[in-house]
Structure 1
Amino acid sequence: MLEGLHYQNAYICDDLEAGIDLFRGRGLVKEPTIIPVDQTVLTPSGPKRQKGRICFIWIGDLQYELIENEIDEVGIYANCLSNGGPLRFHHICFRVPDWADFRARVDAQDFPIAMERDLTGEPEGGLKFLYLDARKVFGHYIEYTSMPEAMWQHIRAM
């Protein structure tokens, strides 16, 4: 299952500030905002907590998400093994235009859901995401998101 607008490559790093430093002189124009994240996601084995810090770096039309993991009850970030460098590739992300249509087809494809969250009705206002475990074919996870256009424009402006 590969569909939607591929707009993000995501990396795990042990030191978020050091990760950001690697983008300086390599296209980083605007200093990223570091965002603390402490959330409960749904998994096949029930709700799990994830806590960490993230930032988004836009270079052209591609967003780089850097993730510093603190608590990972899902194990989705902790299982990203060291490659000897400060950044470890983790997933790509697609934005899909019709979440209901997309979500109805997720269970019919062969990549298992690793985690998902629907923030409709919360202050984040309509963001939905899920991760498929595509490691057996692509060697990484695939994240899918859906969000209102105003949120998308805000993320693009970050």
Structure 2
Amino acid sequence: MKIVLLITITFTLLDLGENQPCQSYSNNNNAGRFVQRHIVKKTFDRTSKTEWERYIRANQICATTTQSFLENQRRVEKICNGKGHPISNNGNLCISDSRMQVYDLIINNNCKVTSISDAMKPVIVACNIVGNRCRPVHFEGYINQRPIPNAGPCQP
């Protein structure tokens, strides 16, 4: 009985924080892939389907039929470092404290943009440790999620 209890306690302790923001570790590829797929660093007409098509082709991100983009990498990274809050008790997702400009594209199989929408809304990202910093590694679409009441900020 003592052995079963010891094993249960050990696994419980190992699980603590595993799915919390800024507790799991990711390699640099995850953070780099997030930036490539979701952070727009080039200036172009955001209302132009043709300009978006050039951008997604140049960055080789045609494979996803729905794609979301953000503009300010520093502001997005702050979601994981004090400017965001957890949205669930079982995950590493954090929601921004403020609204940000989000561009949502619908892309067909031929890498043609069929729809562009942009809106100011909260941004949700998965936050993991990359190197020695907590960084976004995944974008999650906003569908009226809310932060956990009274939860502290997402941070390492």
Compare the two structures and name the one with the higher helix fraction.
2
Which of structures 1 and 2 has the bigger CA Rg? 2
What band does the TM-score fall into relative to the shorter chain? under 0.3
TM-score by length of 2: 0.27
Which has the larger strand fraction? Answer: 1
